[in-house]
A and B are shown apart, each in its own frame.
Chain A
Amino acid sequence: MHLPFWSRIRKTRQGKLAGDEPIGVGDNPLLREETTGASEETQWRLIWRRFRRHHLAMGGLVVVLMLYGVAACAEFLAPMNPRAFDSKYPYAPPQRVRMFHESEEGVSFRPHVLDYRVELDSVQMTRVFHDDPDQVVDLGFFVETEPYRLMGFIPMRRQFFGPVNPDHSFFLLGADRLGRDLLSRMIYGTRISMTVGLIGVTLSLVLGITLGGMSGYFGGWIDNLIQRLIEFLQSIPSIPLWLGLSAAIPPRVDPLMVYFYITIILSILGWTGLGRVVRGKFMSLKTEDFVLAARLDGCSSGRIIRRHMVPSFMSHIIATTTLAIPHMIIGETSLSFLGLGLRPPVISWGVLLQEAQNIRTVATAPWLLLPGAMVAVAVLALNFLGDGLRDASDPYA
């Protein structure tokens, strides 16, 4: 009989076992190897903790939340009706908000703007806007307006801020070609532009997870087919492809339907990146020991995917999705800018930029380029947010 070299250790353990006590971490010094703290933090809380340390990403999150807040409450936040045009104010420049009013009685606190007195410069054929000290437009918070429903269901009669007299006009960021308030139009544009990203990404997500998942889980010819399709879609330059697809939209269709067509076009092209990520995750997880163990436990494919695979990369998917939204936003903006995407009267950042599409505008009404700044802010914020989520969700970072 060979006496093994660990017979010594065995005796000490049997001594412990004599009382038939379970060995816990605390009881047995031999078991105390690399035991970490017994924290029962869940994956999501861990991610959140790591995410909070990422300042840029936190900033991105705040901005993104604000943008979606604006999109949800556009009626409440916009000081003017975005579609109300006024032949008196084409290309009116931004007005300066004055806090104090000087009159015979003295100086008083009274937020206001001065209405414009418009003169036609017959030499240059332009309008010249002068402040008119006699025409004070009082401003206030929670001023009355026409009744509307906030988010579609809360009946409201007041808006966040604007002229106290609803008949007065107010152009904090100037007016466009038809004398419509740019700020209000940008606020309404946020709604369309930010949701194009969201809806488009949701569609991409469904396509990406389904097709990428099939590709990675089943492999073989299914994988081959889907991969070639992805390569094909990715090899086509996106702008010409968008153009081609948008040209296929019937010209007389309702502008709202165009919006849906555009999101579908964007997501048909946008799922490929996500599909690749999902496929890679499925492929690597498929041979993970814990997935094999689940198969040995008798789990069905569906249960393995739902319970053992998808939760392992859900955080990854969320990060990738966040990073895909800006592509959608840029896509919408580019298409609309080229006049092939959304069309007036729908208001989106791209539509606004399309209206600012000539040299004269840039020279005489540069404020009309502000929607471009909104696009930049939104895209940057979403990218920071996505980067932060990705870093936080990667346990090996």
Chain B
Amino acid sequence: MSETTPQTAMAGTTEPTLDTDELLRLESLCVHFPIYKGLLRRHAGDVRAVDDVHLSVKKGEVLGLVGESGCGKTTTGRSIVRILKPTSGKILYQEEHGKVVDLAQLNDRQLFKYRADIRMVFQDPFSSLNPRLTVGDIIGEVLEIQGWRKSDINDRVRYLLEKVGLRPEYVGRFPHAFSGGERQRIGIARSLATNPRLVVADESVSALDVSIQAQTINLLQDLQEEFGLTYLFVAHDLSVVEHISDRVAVMYVGKIVEVADKDSLFGSPKHPYTEALLHSVPKPDPKRRRLGTVPKLKGEVADPANPPRGCYFHPRCPYAQDKCRVERPALRALPGGRQVACHFAEELDLEGIPAVE
């Protein structure tokens, strides 16, 4: 595991470099949405949806990205796949043979090449499939654009359908003939069509029933193992990322507040927000349910257009002190390859949730 802090990486050479085990690294990524007010559309500030994010994704891992709704997870995911153009910062991507490119700087034409490498699974299984195209056309669209032959596309689509647990005979059907869970499988098949290296799954199971969620996560995991994929797995609920992730990044109001491998993060969180999230997950296990000493999260996520001074989390943090109200904690490295953005990470004794036997 790399001990490089984002700051040292940035201070380095002009030619961007990534560690050999890194697939993607976000450096000081900012996505700001301007707010216009009044008749003259005067610029009246920015929604800092993603604000100075540093995050690295390693080859072959599943990185969970969690945070409450409105924390900027979707915006982060969408800038990685470059539906959005970041306001500033770098999205460094390491190609198969080691060449590093900054996706943030590329235009649509230059991006074309990487569209096959980095794919996305959407949140809503209903709006993400064109209701007027057949399953075969939906999954095969990207292959058609990439110039595949018709018969090859057909073979590939059938293979993918089988891989995601649907019958190949369904190629000719329209999306409305399928249930939410099946539609999400179609979305997954579409994302895998090009043999991608990175899949950004934005809340890809959040819209599904709990039992279907579990199946879909299992499917994603099987596919990851089979094809050696790397996932950036976005969710607002820690219980969803728990099963599938190797590492977890916690996001709050446009910033990463904690990154750690899954077991350390769940067992001994270092950021009060992580602790609060851990204790707000539904607890189907009775052993976990008995714990109840951590107060529930109060209040709302801060407004990214007008965040509080100091630590963005201080209005809701039970451990907040005077320093937190004036000084903003930077994301810093802790032993064990962890990163945290809290002034008192070392002093606080936060409560994790125990491993289930």
A residues with a Cβ closer than 8 A to B are 1-6, 9-10, 13, 17, 22-25, 30-40, 42-43, 288-290, 292-299, 303, 307-308, 311-312
Binding-face segment, B208-216, B308-316, B328-336: B208-216
A24 near B166 with CB under 8 A, answer: yes
- Asked whether B145 lies within 8 Å of A297 as measured between CB atoms, the reply is yes
**Given A297-B142, A308-B130, is A40 in contact with B115 using a C-beta cutoff of 8 Å?**
no
Let me know if B356 and A2 touch, CB within 8 A: yes
9 further interface pairs, Cβ-Cβ under 8 Å (given A13-B218, A289-B122, A296-B81): A2-B242, A6-B213, A34-B179, A288-B127, A289-B124, A296-B120, A298-B115, A298-B116, A312-B130
Name the residue of chain A whose CB is nearest to the CB of B130: A290
Bound-state CA distance A6–B239 (Å) is: 10
Q: How far in angstroms is the closest Cβ of chain A from B42?
A: 15
User: B204-230: which residues lie under 8 A (CB-CB) from chain A?
Assistant: 209, 211-215, 217-218, 222
Would B127 and A296 count as touching, CB distance under 8 A?
no
Known contacts A6-B218, A33-B180, A34-B179; is-contact A299 B211 (Cβ 8 Å): no
Cβ B165 vs Cβ A22 within 8 A:
yes
Closest partner residue, chain A, to B190 (CB atom): A293
Task: Report whether B182 and A35 are in contact in the complex, using a CB–CB cutoff of 8 Å.
Answer: yes
- Across the two chains, which residue of chain B brings its CB closest to A303? B145
Give the docked Cα–Cα distance between A83 and B329 (Å). Answer: 91
Scan B126-145; emit 1 where CB is below 8 A from any A CB, else 0: 01111111000000011001
Question: Which residues 228-285 in B have Cβ within 8 Å of A in the complex?
Answer: 239, 242-243, 262-263, 266, 284-285
Q: Is the interface of A mostly helix, strand, loop or mixed?
A: loop
Query: B344 an interface residue at 8 Å Cβ cutoff?
Result: no
CB pair A25 B182 closer than 8 Å: yes
A289 touches B166 (CB 8 A): no
B357 CB-CB contact with A under 8 Å = yes
Question: What chain A residues lie within 8 Å of B162 (beta carbons)?
Answer: 22
B170 — which chain A residues lie within 8 A by C-beta?
A: 24
CB closest chain-B residue, reference A309: B130
Question: Which of A33, A38, A289 gathers the greatest number of chain B CB atoms within 10 Å?
Answer: A289
A38 and B173 contacting across the interface, CB-CB below 8 Å: yes
Docked-complex contact A289 and B127, CB < 8 angstroms = yes
CB within 8 Å for A293 and B128 given contacts A6-B217, A35-B178? yes
Interface string of B301-340 (1 = CB under 8 A from A): 0000000000000000000000000000000000000000
Determine whether the beta carbon of B141 is less than 8 Å from that of A290: no
Are A36 and B177 in contact, CB atoms less than 8 angstroms apart?
Answer: yes
Judge whether B129 and A290 touch: CB under 8 Å.
yes
In the complex, what residues of A have CB within 8 A of residue B167's CB? 22, 24-25
Considering residues B123, B130, B172, B209, which has the most beta carbons from chain A within 10 angstroms of its beta carbon?
B130
Partner of B356, one of A3, A35, A296, A307: A3
Cβ contact within 8 Å between A290 and B145:
no
Q: How large is the interface on B (under 10, 10 to 19, 20 to 34, 35 or more residues)?
A: 35 or more
B284 touches which of A5, A10, A288 (Cβ 8 Å): A5
Residue B176 interfacial (CB < 8 Å) = yes
Known: A4-B243, A288-B127. A293 touches B209 (CB 8 A): no
Q: Say whether, besides A13-B218, A22-B165, A298-B142, A38 and B177 are in contact (CB < 8 Å).
A: yes
Shortest C-beta distance, B198 to chain A (Å), equals 12
Residues on A with C-beta less than 8 A from B176 are: 36
A24, A30, A289, A295: the one within 8 Å of B212 (CB):
A30
CA distance A319 to B170 in the complex (A): 32
Hey, which chain B residues are within 8 Å of A25, CB to CB?
167, 179, 182
B38 to chain A, nearest CB (A): 14
Kindly provide the distance from the CB of B135 to the nearest chain A CB, expressed in whole angstroms.
Answer: 11
**B222 contacts across to A, CB distance below 8 A:** 17
A298 touches B128 (CB 8 A): no
9 shortest A-B CB distances, which residue pairs? A6-B214, A289-B128, A4-B243, A297-B142, A23-B165, A24-B167, A290-B130, A298-B145, A33-B179
Query: Chain B contacts of A299 at CB under 8 A?
Result: 141, 145
Q: Decide if B172 touches A296 in the complex (CB within 8 Å).
A: no
Between-chain CB contacts (< 8 Å), 21 pairs? A1-B263, A4-B239, A5-B284, A9-B215, A22-B162, A22-B166, A24-B166, A25-B179, A31-B181, A35-B177, A35-B178, A43-B131, A289-B128, A293-B190, A294-B130, A296-B83, A296-B142, A299-B141, A303-B145, A307-B133, A312-B131
A299 to B146, CA, bound (A): 10
B132 in contact with A312 (CB, 8 Å): yes
A25 to B182: give the CA distance in the assembly, Å: 9
Indicate if B33 sits at the interface (CB-CB under 8 A): no
Residue of A nearest to B112 (CB): A298
- Other-chain residue from A24, A37, A308 in contact with B177 (beta carbon distance below 8 A): A37
**Nearest chain A CB to B179's CB is how many angstroms away?**
4
Residues of B within 8 A of A289 (CB): 122-124, 127-128
B181 contacts across to A, CB distance below 8 A: 31, 33
Q: B129 touching A10 by the CB < 8 A rule?
A: no
Contact at B172–A40, with CB atoms within 8 Å?
Answer: yes
- Given the known A-B contacts A33-B212, A34-B179, are A4 and B124 also in contact in the complex, defined by CB atoms under 8 Å? no
Chain B residues, Cβ within 8 Å of A307: 133
- Bits for B69-111, please: 1 = Cβ < 8 Å to A, else 0: 0000000000001010000000000000000000000000000
- What residues of chain B lie closer than 8 Å to A17, measured between beta carbons? 222
Of the candidates B115, B161, B218, B262, the one whose C-beta lies within 8 Å of that of A9 is: B218
Docked complex Cα distance between A303 and B116 (Å): 18
A3 proximity list for chain B (CB < 8 A):
355-357
By beta carbon, the residue of chain B nearest A290 is B130
Chain A residues lying within 8 Å of B172, measured Cβ to Cβ, are 40
A286 to chain B, nearest CB (A): 11
Residues of A within 8 A of B356 (CB): 2-3
Contact status B127-A290, CB under 8 Å: yes
- Contacting pair A30 B132 (CB below 8 A): no
State in angstroms the CA–CA spacing of A307 and B190 once bound together.
17
What is the CA–CA distance of A13 and B127 in the complex, to the nearest angstrom?
27
Quote the shortest CB–CB distance from B171 to chain A (angstroms): 11
Residues in A whose Cβ lies below 8 Å from that of B83: 292, 295-296
Counting CB contacts under 8 A, is B168 at the interface?
yes
User: Which residues from A are CB-within-8-Å of B357?
Assistant: 3
The CA-CA distance from A40 to B119 in the complex, in Å, is 29
Closest to A289 in B: B128
